[in-house]
Amino acid sequence: MLAVLNKYRSIFAIGLQSNLVYRWNFAVRASFSLVHLTFVFVLWGAAFSGQAGIGGFDLRQTLTYFVVMLVLQFFISAMNEDYEISEEIRNGLINQFLLKPINYYLYRFSIFVSARLVSGLLALLPMILIYPLLADKLVLPSIGWTYAAVIPALIMSSIIQFTIAYCFGLLTFWFLEIQSFIILSLAVETVLGGQVFPLDLLPKWLYDFSAYLPYYYQMYFPAALLTGRITDQAFIIRGLGIQFFWVLALLGMAQLLWSRGLRRHTAVGG
């Protein structure tokens, strides 16, 4: 068991080193995200003008939601893992993993965790720099016990994020070009993951429906827990249960695609 852990710890360390090489790319990306944050502040500031609340939350709570969402993106969301997996399949680089005692999913997941650690920490830098400007516009909830649910929610969110990207990458076994699938999926994930607007602003029936989809648990659920948009204990426990179901379902899907995909894969050359 320890030997297995050591194997993936080494992969994590290598991933950390190779991602630190791209530290400036992550830093530039994080800086650009501040432009998006400015857009969010302007739009919602104008929407709140003349009214105390929207959907039961005031402007500070709504802006806090978007700031938390932005930081979480850099810590837990899949960025270009789908493209990297696709490239490895297309170029035959996965052949080496078929001959070694390495689980490809865990290999990629170890690299994903190291990449998000680097990108997340780098994203915090511009946030810390502009925090004095933001401080009076943000507010975090004081309901301490919801934070206990945040940790498992975040871990499961990152697994869901990565596994969806992994599954899209594996589509390369069937399709030569998967970029359009990825961008289409990104649009769905962006909306139903709550990155465009807080999902609780949707009509109730649509919100209730979205809570059964995996996208809800990619970003919205942990962000809503962190910002106090979800506080009902029974709802949180039910949410963690559904999230756990999606983790298992997606892992099953990933395994199915991998085993079926390998049957189609032709390893040429050496």
Partner 1 sequence: MNSLAHYSRLWLAGARYSIVRTMMFRADFIMWSLVELFWMGVNLLLIAVVYRHTNSIAGWGPWEMTIIVGTSMLVQRLLMGLFWTNLFEMGRNVRSGHFDFFMAQPGSPLFMVSTRKIDLDGFLNAPLALGVVVYACHRLGLHPSVWQMVGYGGFIICGLAIHYSTLLILVSLVFWLQSAKGLEGGYFGVNEFSRLPREALRGIAAVIFVYALPVILVTNVPARALLHGVELVPALWLIGAAVGWFTFAVIVFNRGLRRYSSASS
Closer to partner 1 by CB, 29 or 60: give it: 29
- DSSP 8-state secondary structure symbol assigned to residue 54: B
Closer to partner 1 by CB, 95 or 185: give it: 185
To partner 1, the closest distance from the beta carbon of 196 in angstroms equals 5
Closer to partner 1 by CB, 6 or 25: give it: 25
199 three-state secondary structure: helix
Task: Tell me the residue type at 122.
Answer: L
Instruction: Answer yes or no: are the C-beta atoms of 222 and 194 closer than 8 Å.
Output: no
Instruction: For the chain, give the number of residues.
Output: 270
The pair of three-digit structure tokens given for residue 138, joined into one six-digit string: 């943000």
Q: Which parts of this chain interact with partner 1 (CB under 8 A)?
A: 25, 28-29, 32-33, 35-36, 38-39, 42-43, 45-51, 54-55, 177, 180-181, 183-184, 187-188, 190-191, 196-197, 201-203
To partner 1, the closest distance from the beta carbon of 223 in angstroms equals 16
Q: Helix 104-134 crosses helix 81-90 at what angle (to 10 degrees)?
A: 150
Non-local (6+) Cβ contacts of 79 within 8 A are 115, 119
Closer to partner 1 by CB, 134 or 251: give it: 134
To partner 1, the closest distance from the beta carbon of 191 in angstroms equals 6
Distance (Å, whole) CA 94 – CA 267: 9
To partner 1, the closest distance from the beta carbon of 25 in angstroms equals 6
Closer to partner 1 by CB, 47 or 129: give it: 47
To partner 1, the closest distance from the beta carbon of 39 in angstroms equals 4
